[in-house]
Amino acid sequence: QPNSAEARDIRYHLHSYTNARKHEEIGPLIIEKGDGIYVEDASGKRYIEAMAGLWSVAVGFSEQRLVDAATRQMKKLPFYHNFTHKGHSPVIDLAEKLVSMAPVPMSKAFFTNSGSEANDTAMKMIWYRSNALGQPQKKKIISRKRGYHGVTIASASLTGLPNNQISFDLPIANVLHTGTPHHYRDALAGESEEAFATRLAEELEQLILAEGPEMVAAFIGEPVMGAGGVVVPPATYWEKIQAVLAKYDILLVADEVICGFGRTGNMFGCQTFDIKPDILVMSKQISSSYLPISALLINERVYAPLADESNRIGTFGHGFTAGGHPVAAAVALENLKLIEERDLVGNARTVGVHMQKRLRELAGHELVGEVRGVGLIGAVELVGDKQAKTPWKNAGALGGLVNGLLQENGVISRNMADTLAFCPPLIITEKQVDDMVDAFKKALDAAVPQVRG
């Protein structure tokens, strides 16, 4: 029908992260409603939202208390900003709350509207700091292949996925990429996780020495890589990486945009892996994504030179109109209150153990290469040939096939090439995990005849 929502979507709407030509053929899945861990499409079909939207809706899709918090703040003060010494209560309360929750001592919170903006801001703070310290050459930032940090010019440069770079002439200057702690894919034959982690730390040190340590300002990484394929690092990886950074006086930025607020079974991924960042970047689950808001926490090492420089030249010239928006800040505060009151971090830990166990039961399946994850973030990497770890047809074909079958079975996951991710709302129960994994098992079995046929 020419005026159906599907037809109008194809006619008018260019989707994010979507193959435009394929979209004209396939059309959209239009989601109309949500309740708990479920969403419902325009035809009334219900799905378990196994990605919590985009790794983000911690409290589920129907939390009245967040609606009420937004409404109250909308009525009281729908907008104000924090430029030039002005402010409002929700942003002050949220800054205090985040600093008090931080896994390491932090000095200040700065507010942005998306993960990408937050990482751009981190980069600018790092450069500003180097200038303030009289080290203008110290500007290089090391990120990792497969890391995901966003899509703006700077954050897409940090992102280490070819899709985000090749067609855009990125990365920009001063961004370097080092190896990924993806043991299943990148370890040498017979290499232990420990030896692999050592090799990655050595690779990082070699890169720093090749560039000159006085040129390298910071390293950025996700505690667990999300969009790069849910890559859980070897147990000693972060310890070894941090030792190298400390040796050369290089700042560490933890991108907690996915891991933050309970995902890995602790409030922050930094606690799960004993990471001590100088800058901690957060978004998504900070407000369960009911409204856009993101933030950076910075420690004294970052803040002090920034404040000193401000004394000399006047102003830290950076900020967004909607940064720390009062309605988004009020929703984030209520969301954090709910996460604490309902012990959703504890739920992520206990139900997470169950989810990891259930997913690992599929490790023997003929289409499964590896199952990995921690807490309520997990992934299953599919292969056409288990021994050779090679794809069926071309990379992404099997992931797309199984993801489509899974969606037919009432579960929305996401395939990053041949890796399907499971990152449900933190309120999920063990019974709901069983429903999700059972549907996935059915989709896998249904794919076998197509793959082998």
Where on the chain is the footprint of ligand PLP (CB under 6 A)? 54, 114-116, 119, 148-150, 222, 226-227, 255, 257-258, 283
Strand partners, 295: 111, 282
What's the min distance (Å) between Cβ of 220 and ligand PLP? 9
Q: What tokens appear for 153 in the block?
A: 């010019």
User: At closest approach, how far in Å is the CB of 160 from ligand PLP?
Assistant: 12
What is the token pair recorded at 313? Answer: 């030249």
User: At its nearest, how many Å lie between ligand PLP and the CB of residue 19?
Assistant: 18
In the block, tokens 């169950």 appear at 354
> In angstroms, what is the minimal distance from the CB of 153 to ligand PLP?
12
Q: Which residues pair with 40 in a beta bridge?
A: 33, 46
Tokens of 409: 């079975």
Of 119 and 415, CB closest to ligand PLP: 119
* Phi, psi (degrees; rounded to nearest 5) at 196: -65, -45
CB closest to ligand PLP, residue no: 115
Residue 259 CB, nearest approach to ligand PLP (Å):
8
Residues 94 and 356: their CA atoms lie apart, in Å, by 33
The CA distance from 175 to 140, in Å, is: 6
User: Is the Cα torsion angle 436, 159, 161, 205 positive or negative in sign?
Assistant: negative
Terminal Cα distance for the chain, rounded: 36
Secondary structure (3-state) at 104: coil
* Smallest gap from residue 317 Cβ to ligand PLP (A): 22
Helix (H) or strand (E) holding 187: none
Query: Please, which residue, 50 or 383, has the CB nearer to ligand PLP?
Result: 50
Q: How far apart are CA 410 and CA 435, in angstroms?
A: 10
Closest CB to ligand PLP among residues 18, 350: 18
Q: Which is nearer to ligand PLP, 150 or 265 (CB)?
A: 150
φ/ψ of residue 215, rounded to 5: -95, -15
Give me 393's structure tokens.
């047809």
- Closer residue to ligand PLP in complex, CB, 216/286: 286
Minimum distance, C-beta of residue 16 to ligand PLP, in the bound complex (Å): 9
**Backbone phi, psi, residue 115, to 5°:** -60, -40
* Residue number, 88 or 149, with CB nearest to ligand PLP: 149
What does DSSP assign to residue 421? Answer: E
Least distance from ligand PLP to the Cβ atom of residue 196, Å? 22
Nearer to ligand PLP, 56 or 409 (CB): 56
CB of 291 to ligand PLP, least distance (A): 12
Q: Between residues 287 and 432, which has the closer beta carbon with respect to ligand PLP?
A: 287
Contacts of 355 (CB under 8 A, 6+ apart): 373, 376, 378, 422, 424, 428, 433, 437
Residue 91 or 156: which CB sits closer to ligand PLP?
Answer: 156
Nearer to ligand PLP, 226 or 305 (CB): 226
- Smallest gap from residue 445 Cβ to ligand PLP (A): 31
Q: What is the DSSP string of 142-176?
A: EEETT----SSHHHHHH---GGGTGGGT-PPTTEE
The SS3 of residue 61 is coil
* Residue 288, Ramachandran bin (φ over 0: left; ψ between -120 and 50: alpha; else beta): left
Task: Please state, in angstroms and as integers, the Cα–Cα distance from residue 243 to each residue in 34, 204, 237, 272, following that order.
Answer: 45, 11, 10, 17
DSSP letter at 213? G
Question: Whose Cβ is closer to ligand PLP: residue 119's or residue 432's?
Answer: 119
CB of 46 to ligand PLP, least distance (A): 25
